[in-house]
Amino acid sequence: MTFEHWLKTWSYLPTFLQGLSTNLAILGALLSLGFFVGILVALLELYAPLPFRLLGIAYSWVFRSIPEILLLLLVWLGPARFGFPISPFWAAVIALGLRSSAYQAEIFRGALQAIPSGQTLAARALGLSAFGTIRYVLLPQALRLSLAGWGNEFAVVLKDTTLAYAIGVVEVMQKARFISSREFPLTFPAYVTVAILFLFLTYAGLFLLGKIEKRLRIPGLEARR
């Protein structure tokens, strides 16, 4: 392997970026799915009647226990067995999004529990309903308190998007594999290039989330996270 091999690999940068755009599309979709489902599950675990509370706990346990690659295969192959095929892209979004929702639920649950119970009592004393208390008092604070944990989840699921290649999604790992299959000496530089791209994205994402967290920090509650 020579310096020319590295130069040749970097000439494929548009190809890498094309694949990386697919990873970012999966990332955005799965984080959005995980966000909304995760909040719902966290609320079930904390405030719902016992049967629904147990359902939320079971949901988190199941989707945190199944390996991501197995979940990908189940979501991709399962519906097709019943005549409802799903594209590899959306199978990856759903599978990884459900997995992320289980972890995000725990992040949001911890954030909700970090809010002093006196705020709930005060809101109810002022006439807010249970729903209004959650919507206007607890959730806005919980979302701000969850940013640190959510940043860690971002870093994890960013890497997990590369698993989508296992079900045929043409993302950055597939592009690297394609390049290495065409020119074997470029195999190592190709995968190093992918690693560098992910290092950059992870650093940039965590840096941005850190800035947002500092801006939205709630005085007096930092140590409770």
Q: Is a pLDDT exceeding 80 seen at residue 75?
A: yes
Cα dihedral value 21, 24, 30, 36, nearest 10? -120
CA dist 42 and 103 (Å) reads 10
- Tens of pLDDT along 1-33? 678 888 888 899 999 999 999 999 999 999 999
Axis crossing angle, helix 147-160 with helix 187-216, rounded to the nearest 10: 160
CA dist 72 and 89 (Å) reads 10
Average pLDDT of the segment spanning 102-130: 91
* Encoded tokens for 107: 């992040």
Q: What percent of the chain shows pLDDT beyond 90?
A: 72
Residue 105 CA, chain-centre distance (Å), reads 11
CA dist 116 and 49 (Å) reads 22
Q: Is a pLDDT exceeding 50 seen at residue 115?
A: yes
Average pLDDT of the segment spanning 173-181: 92
* Encoded tokens for 40: 């719902």
pLDDT greater at residue 208 or residue 223: 208
CA dist 101 and 31 (Å) reads 8
CB neighbours of residue 20 within 10 Å: 20
Q: Which pTM was predicted?
A: 0.91
Domains and CATH numbers, the chain: 3-224 (1.10.3720.10)
